[in-house]
Chain A
Amino acid sequence: MPPLNFLQAYEQHRNLVFNLCLHYLTNRQDAEEAAQDIFIKIHARLGSFQEKSSLKTWIYRIAVNHCLDVLKARKRQKRLAWVKMALSGKPDAAPEPPDFDHPGVLLEDREALEQLFRQIHDLPDNQKTALILRYLDDLPPAEVAEVMNCSVKAVESLLQRAKQNLEKKRRETEGP
């Protein structure tokens, strides 16, 4: 059985971790798997937590890094599959991207949000993280800065650039 501290950490942060995974991976099954992996990492590292930051910030950092790793692995698999497809000459060998399955999105907003999440995924990692933490997880800029280990000004600049990039992409896809 895991120690009590782990159970407390789990109870306090399970929704935070699961929702963060959903925002990054936009698929319920992938988010569940990622949340399991993150809590296994938390369990393994809880003994070395030095309280230099709050437990919440520490858990956020582990979760953000893990989700970014999962996204990188997805991209790697996609590239590898394209190479295999090019070598084998079979067009059906191309990988299917995971379905958009976000339980926090209502049916009437699904189309618009699916497209927006796809555009968010194309942003650089730091812009994506700033946007998710600030607008989806509703963290104040100071907390986003603490999780991302940068200044509040840097976070504001990242958010500004992320919004500009997204608006530009939306103008390109939706037309005038």
Chain B
Amino acid sequence: MAKESVQALLKKVRPTEAPPFLLTRIEARLRAEAAERLPRGWQWAGALAFGLLLLLNVLSFRSADNRSPETAGSLMSYLQMNTSNQLYADPD
């Protein structure tokens, strides 16, 4: 038997109807996605809280950075820490 051409073989594939429950499932998924999504007000509140937190962090980092050498020096003298790089005493 002669082989059918690719085109002739593909012509045998018939178009089919989409399943009738497809729309019901799509609608159910759309409803589920909408329920999972946060309301717009909450989205804004979250963004605002995050922004405030970021601002507080920046401010506290800046103020801490300004006084850090002073604080470190006073802490070292209070604890009587040795700041020398020589870790071991030379043998006599």
Chain B nearest CB, measured from A148 CB (Å) = 18
A136: B residues at CB distance < 8 A? 10, 13
Which of A43, A104, A109, A174 touches B30 (beta carbons < 8 Å)?
Answer: A43
For B23, B26, B27, which residue has the most chain A Cβ atoms within 10 angstroms? B26
Q: Beyond A19-B15, A39-B22: 12 further Cβ-contacts under 8 Å?
A: A1-B27, A2-B26, A14-B23, A18-B22, A23-B13, A36-B22, A43-B30, A102-B13, A103-B16, A105-B12, A113-B12, A136-B13
A82-121 contacts to B, CB under 8 A, are: 102-106, 109, 112-113, 116
A interface residues, Cβ below 8 angstroms from B: 1-2, 10, 14-15, 17-19, 22-23, 32, 35-36, 39-40, 43, 102-106, 109, 112-113, 116, 131, 135-136, 163, 166-167, 170, 174
Question: Is B3 at the interface (CB under 8 A from chain A)?
Answer: yes
Indicate if the CB atoms of A10 and B23 lie closer than 8 Å.
Answer: yes
A90 to chain B, nearest CB (A): 36
Interface residues of B (CB under 8 A from A): 3-4, 6-7, 9-19, 22-23, 25-27, 29-30, 33
A109 touches B9 (CB 8 A): yes
| Contacting residues, chain A, for B18 (C-beta < 8 A) | 14-15, 17-18, 35
Q: In the complex, how many angstroms separate the beta carbon of B30 from the nearest chain A beta carbon?
A: 6
Tell me how far the C-beta of B33 lies from the nearest C-beta in chain A, rounded to whole angstroms: 8
Q: In the assembled complex, which residues on chain A have CB atoms less than 8 Å from the CB atom of B6?
A: 116, 135, 163, 166-167, 170
